[in-house]
Amino acid sequence: MAETTSPAVKDRYDYEELLACARGELFGPGNAQLPAPPMLLFHRIVTINKDGGKYGKGYIEAEFDITPDLWFFDCHFLGDPVMPGSLGLDAMWQLVGFFLGWIGGKGRGRALGCGNVKFAGQVTQDITKVVYKVDMKRVINRSLVMGLGDAVLEADGKPIYWAEDLRVGLMSPEALAR
């Protein structure tokens, strides 16, 4: 089982640890969780830190192994299999939310929007690896927990998606009930 006492001391996470996060075991009950497969859209976090990245506010990088049998290729689009761009964008939000839990933020993660998004390529069945890179721009960890980041998705080393000002908040159960 993944370590649950000090997740922030780690600078990388394997797939089993990401699954523990999806079960609510990594950051504690009621706090940030990743979605479970098939919506968990990366296999490992290869680096995470609090003061790296373009803005010095934190950086997270994750990898997703692409295989032709992934679920979305069977339905998007029939006869023209491609990963939906919205899934790549969702993975970027997932990583911002994970970062907020990793720094000790409390509450359940919710995507709050983003600024600009650009798609300049596709993830098709011939791609072998997707890499997500997120530069945190602003991090608030008080009674309000929110992260703002810029991200890029690379397909076999080529940048093809960009998202600016990805916003994720951690919400208390009371806020979610409203």
pLDDT in tens, 71-117: 999 999 999 999 999 999 999 999 999 999 999 999 999 999 999 99
pLDDT surpasses 70 at 143: yes
User: How open is the CA angle 21-4-29, to the nearest 5 degrees?
Assistant: 60
- Please tell me the least confidently modeled range out of 77-81, 100-104, 142-146, 174-178: 174-178
How do strand 158-171 and strand 129-141 relate by DSSP bridges?
unpaired
Catalytic residue (choose from 10, 50, 76, 106): 76
CA–CA distance, 30 with 148 (Å, rounded to integer) = 21
CA–CA distance, 17 with 83 (Å, rounded to integer) = 25
Q: What is the pLDDT of residue 4?
A: 39
| Phi, psi values for residue 146, rounded to 5° | -150, 145
% of the chain residues with pLDDT over 90: 89
If you average pLDDT over residues 26-46, what whole number do you get?
Answer: 96
In 3D, which of 89, 138, 137, 141 has the Cα closest to residue 111? Answer: 89
pLDDT surpasses 70 at 136: yes
Please indicate whether residue 76 is annotated as part of the active site. yes
